[in-house]
Structure 1
Amino acid sequence: MSIEITYTFDNQFQSSICKSTQMKVNSTNTPIKKKSKFIPYLLLLSTIMFFQYSWSQNISVKIIDATTKEVIPYATINIDKKEHLISNAEGFFNLPETALQDDNTLIITYLGYKNLEVKVSQLSKLDYIIALTPTIFELDDVQVNGEKPNPYSIMATVKANLAVNYGSKNSPTKDMLFVRKSTATYPNEIVVDVNQSTGFSKQALKKVNNDIQSFTNTLIASPPKEYTDMLCNLYTNTIKKDNKSFVSHKMNVLKATVLKNEGSATSSEELKQIGIKTMLKHLDSTKYYRIKSGLIGSRDTISLRKDFNKKKIKSKSSDKSTLLTTTKYNLTQFIQNNNLGTSSEHDFINNPDLYRYKFEGTTFTEDNDYAFVLTFSPKKSKAKYTGKLYINESDYAVLRAEYQLDEGEKLNNVNLKWLLGIKVAQNNNKGILMYRKKSDEKNYYLHYASEENGNYFYVNRPLKFIEITKEDKDILSLDIKFEGNATTKTEFLNLSHSLVTDIDVTKVVENEFKLVAIKSYDPKIWKGYHAIEPLAELKRFRVKD
Structure 2
Amino acid sequence: MKIKYLFVFVVVFLFFKTNAQNLRGTILDKSTQETIPFATIQYGKNNGVISNIEGKFSVDTTRTRNIDSLKISSMGFETFSLALVGFRDNDSIYLTPAINELSEVFLRDENLTARELIDLFIKNKDSNYVTDANQLQVFQRTEYKTKFKDYGFELTKANYIKKSTRKEINRDLEETSKTVIGSNTTYFRERLVDVYLNEKDSLKIIPQKAIKIVSSDADQDIEEIQTKAFKKIFEKLENSNSFKVRTFIITVEDSLDLSKINKQLEKRVDSTKTKNIRNSYKSFLPQLNFKTGLFEPLSEVDDYSFEIEDVTSFNGEMVYIINFEPDRNRAKYRGKLYITAENYSIVKFERQLIEGKSEQKLNLKFLFGVKFDSYRNDLEMMYFKNAEGKYYPKYIKQTDGQYFYVDRKFIFKENEDNRRERMKFKLNILAEVNNFTSDEFFIISENKINKNQFDEIKENEGIIIKEFDRYPSSFWKNYNVIEATDKLKNYE
Instruction: Give TM class, smaller chain.
Output: 0.7 to 0.9
Which residue does 1:301 correspond to in 2?
255
Distance 1:140 1:166 in 2: 25
Structure 1 residue 155 corresponds to structure 2 residue 118? yes
Distance 1:289 1:247 in 2: 38
SS in structure 2 opposite 1:210?
helix
Structure 1 residue 462 corresponds to structure 2 residue 426? no
Shift of 1:483: 0.7
Shift of 1:370: 1.3
Q: Please, what TM-score do these two structures have when normalized by structure 2?
A: 0.83
Distance 2:448 2:436 in 1: 36
Query: What is the letter of the counterpart of residue 155 of structure 1?
Result: I
Alignment of 1:499-510 (within 5 A): 499-500=448-449, 505=454, 508-510=457-459
Distance 2:406 2:86 in 1: 57
Distance 1:74 1:199 in 2: 60
Structure 1 residue 281 corresponds to structure 2 residue 244? no
Shift of 1:413: 0.7
Match for 1:207 among 168, 172, 183? 168
Which residue does 2:51 correspond to in 1?
87
Instruction: Rate the CA distance shift 1:136–1:215 in 2: closer, same or farther, 3 A.
Output: farther
Structure 1 residue 361 corresponds to structure 2 residue 310? yes
Query: What is the letter of the counterpart of residue 310 of structure 2?
Result: G
Are the aligned partners of 2:142 and 2:440 in contact in 1 as well (CA < 8 Å)?
A: yes
Query: What is the letter of the counterpart of residue 121 of structure 1?
Result: V
Distance 2:105 2:139 in 1: 38
Are the aligned partners of 1:61 and 1:130 in contact in 2 as well (CA < 8 Å)?
A: yes
Shift of 1:160: 2.4
Alignment of 1:516-527 (within 5 A): 516-519=465-468, 520-527=470-477
Instruction: Rate the CA distance shift 1:124–1:273 in 2: closer, same or farther, 3 A.
Output: closer
Are the aligned partners of 1:143 and 1:149 in contact in 2 as well (CA < 8 Å)?
A: no
Are the aligned partners of 2:153 and 2:427 in contact in 1 as well (CA < 8 Å)?
A: yes
Are the aligned partners of 1:427 and 1:454 in contact in 2 as well (CA < 8 Å)?
A: yes
Which residue does 1:110 correspond to in 2?
74
Shift of 1:177: 2.1
Structure 1 residue 410 corresponds to structure 2 residue 373? no
Are the aligned partners of 1:237 and 1:505 in contact in 2 as well (CA < 8 Å)?
A: yes
Indicate the larger mover: 74-83 or 501-510.
501-510
Query: What is the letter of the counterpart of residue 151 of structure 1?
Result: A
Shift of 1:286: 4.6
Distance 2:222 2:286 in 1: 25
Distance 1:217 1:426 in 2: 26
Indicate the larger mover: 204-213 or 358-367.
204-213
Q: Which runs of 5+ in 2 are unaligned?
A: 1-16, 266-271
Query: What is the letter of the counterpart of residue 301 of structure 2?
Result: P
Instruction: Rate the CA distance shift 1:418–1:439 in 2: closer, same or farther, 3 A.
Output: same
Structure 1 residue 536 corresponds to structure 2 residue 483? no
Instruction: Rate the CA distance shift 1:467–1:236 in 2: closer, same or farther, 3 A.
Output: closer
SS in structure 1 opposite 2:482?
coil
Distance 1:284 1:343 in 2: 48
Match for 2:30 among 53, 59, 66? 66
Normalized per residue, the structure richer in strand is 2
Are the aligned partners of 1:179 and 1:491 in contact in 2 as well (CA < 8 Å)?
A: yes
Which residue does 1:31 correspond to in 2?
none
Instruction: Rate the CA distance shift 1:293–1:506 in 2: closer, same or farther, 3 A.
Output: closer
Which residue does 2:440 correspond to in 1?
491
SS in structure 2 opposite 1:461?
strand
Q: Which runs of 5+ in 1 are unaligned?
A: 1-51, 239-245, 314-321
Shift of 1:490: 2.1
Distance 1:410 1:237 in 2: 34
1:514-543: CA deviation from partner (whole Å, max 9, x where unpaired): 13322132021111122222233433444x
Instruction: Rate the CA distance shift 1:511–1:305 in 2: closer, same or farther, 3 A.
Output: closer
1:287-326: CA deviation from partner (whole Å, max 9, x where unpaired): 54443323333334334436x978x99xxxxxxxx92343
Alignment of 1:124-523 (within 5 A): 124=88, 127-137=90-100, 141-144=104-107, 146=109, 149-166=112-129, 168=131, 170=132, 172-220=133-181, 223=184, 225-237=186-198, 248-260=202-214, 275-286=229-240, 288-305=242-259, 323-344=273-294, 346-367=295-316, 369-441=317-389, 443-469=390-416, 470=418, 471-500=420-449, 505=454, 508-519=457-468, 520-523=470-473
Distance 1:401 1:273 in 2: 40
Distance 1:362 1:411 in 2: 31
Distance 1:293 1:500 in 2: 49
Instruction: Rate the CA distance shift 1:500–1:305 in 2: closer, same or farther, 3 A.
Output: closer
Instruction: Rate the CA distance shift 1:287–1:191 in 2: closer, same or farther, 3 A.
Output: same
Instruction: Rate the CA distance shift 1:59–1:189 in 2: closer, same or farther, 3 A.
Output: farther
Query: What is the letter of the counterpart of residue 529 of structure 1?
Result: Y
Instruction: Rate the CA distance shift 1:409–1:250 in 2: closer, same or farther, 3 A.
Output: closer
Query: What is the letter of the counterpart of residue 301 of structure 1?
Result: S
Indicate the larger mover: 423-432 or 113-122.
113-122
1:18-41: CA deviation from partner (whole Å, max 9, x where unpaired): xxxxxxxxxxxxxxxxxxxxxxxx
Are the aligned partners of 1:280 and 1:303 in contact in 2 as well (CA < 8 Å)?
A: no
Shift of 1:64: 1.7
Give the count of matched residue pairs.
Answer: 466
Distance 1:271 1:140 in 2: 57
Are the aligned partners of 2:154 and 2:173 in contact in 1 as well (CA < 8 Å)?
A: no
Query: What is the letter of the counterpart of residue 411 of structure 1?
Result: E
Indicate the larger mover: 86-95 or 416-425.
86-95
Instruction: Rate the CA distance shift 1:236–1:205 in 2: closer, same or farther, 3 A.
Output: closer
Are the aligned partners of 2:44 and 2:64 in contact in 1 as well (CA < 8 Å)?
A: no
